[in-house]
Amino acid sequence: MRPAYVILSFVALLMTACSGSQRAQSTAYSNARMLDGGKPQYAGGERVVQYTATLELKVKEADSANVQLRSIAEKHQGYVVSLGDRRSVIRVKQPELVAAVDEVSGLGKLQYKTFKGEDVTEQYVDLTARLDNARRARERYLQLLQQAENVQAALAVEKELERVNGEIEAFEGKLNKLTHLADMATITVELREREKLGPLGYVFVGLWKGARWLVVRGE
């Protein structure tokens, strides 16, 4: 049997073993959830939750409100995602979400506000398992690469290494985004500028105030 064929066969067996290991970990996680009363948990025993808040404010000027939104984000160890005339988005440290929302509410006349928490623990556990499997596969491929007896076998292993490295980068990126959005709460602010009166509008407002004053005096 040729050495290249032996190595390629081993690569196929390795891929099958990694797939079986991943399924086993998923099954173990499902059983753990059932034993724990259906509450999803990861290795640290805590749930991974992404919190968001949405507000609608009537403000005098959107630009002025956006300046203050930037300050609120920085005050609560966060940053600006986007600022606009109609919608602005900031992120703050998750424990400071309520305090930050209270400050944002004071920037204008509050129309409504909502809070939402999305439990992403299961996604976190699944991605962590996939990442661990991919890293173990990479180590095995590196061992195979050292054992390759010819160029053809080495190229076959290197091709698999390239694929696994791509998977590892993708899993790491998704996991980093997942944990970042759990650490930083997102606040979306819908901005509605108050209607500005034209010259005639101010005249009518003045007449209405004068008429109201006369009525009050007459009483």
- Tens digits of per-residue pLDDT, 79-129? 999 999 999 999 999 999 999 999 999 999 999 999 999 999 999 999 999
Inter-residue contact 59 to 106 (CB < 8 Å): no
Same domain, 130 and 59: no
Residue numbers of the domain that contains 84: 52-120+182-199
Is 36 among the domain residues? yes
Q: Are residues 80 and 116 in the same domain?
A: yes
The set of residues, in sequence order, having a beta carbon less than 8 Å from that of 125 and lying 6+ positions away, is: 29, 40, 42
Angle (CA) 166 171 174, round 5°: 125
Tell me if 141 is assigned to some domain: yes
Domain match, 130 and 100 both: no
CB atoms within 10 A of CB 133: 21
Q: What is the pLDDT of residue 194?
A: 84
- Local confidence band at 204 (pLDDT 50, 70, 90 cut-offs): low
Task: Give the mean pLDDT of 53-68.
Answer: 97
Mean of all residue pLDDT scores within the chain: 80
Instruction: Establish if 108 belongs to a structural domain.
Output: yes
Distance CA 89, CA 106 (A): 16
pTM, two decimal places:
0.69
Q: Is the pLDDT of residue 9 over 80?
A: no
Residues 97 and 193 reside in one and the same domain:
yes
The predicted pLDDT at position 199 comes to 57
Closest CA to 126 of 54, 200, 42, 57: 42
On whether both 37 and 57 belong to a single domain, the answer is: no
How many structural domains compose the chain?
2
% of the chain residues with pLDDT over 70 = 68
Residue 209 in domain: no
- 112 & 130 share domain: no
